[in-house]
Amino acid sequence: MLLIQLMYPKLATRTFQVFRCQDIKHVGLVLDQDFSFKCWEGAHMFYATIALIAVFVYLIGVPLFTFVVLYCNRHRLHTAAIEQRFGDL
């Protein structure tokens, strides 16, 4: 769990970079990180779909899972067994 929480900021940044497009005259929308990719066409559409899934599964899912686990155990958080199991949350 600690590894997932440490990787969270970097993966969030990388995920949202897929959606950063720039409008260039006479070319159209291109990816901000690599101008050879046109936004919402071809390979970018594939990567954007994967990034959208990652937003829901990882960027929303991990904090939601953490909240649900802590909320379900909210009355027992100070017991030794729960603190040992979920202490790093």
Sequence ranges of the domains in the chain: 2-86
pTM, two decimal places: 0.75
Give the residue from 7, 11, 74 showing the smallest Cα distance to 86: 74
pLDDT reading at 10 higher than 80: yes
pLDDT digits (tens, 9 = 90+) for 37-64: 899 999 999 999 999 999 999 999 989 9
28-to-4, 22, 36, 44, 45 alpha-carbon distances in Å = 37, 8, 11, 14, 15
The average pLDDT across 60-69 equals 90
Phi, psi (deg, nearest 5) at residue 25? -60, 140
Phi, psi (deg, nearest 5) at residue 28? 105, -160
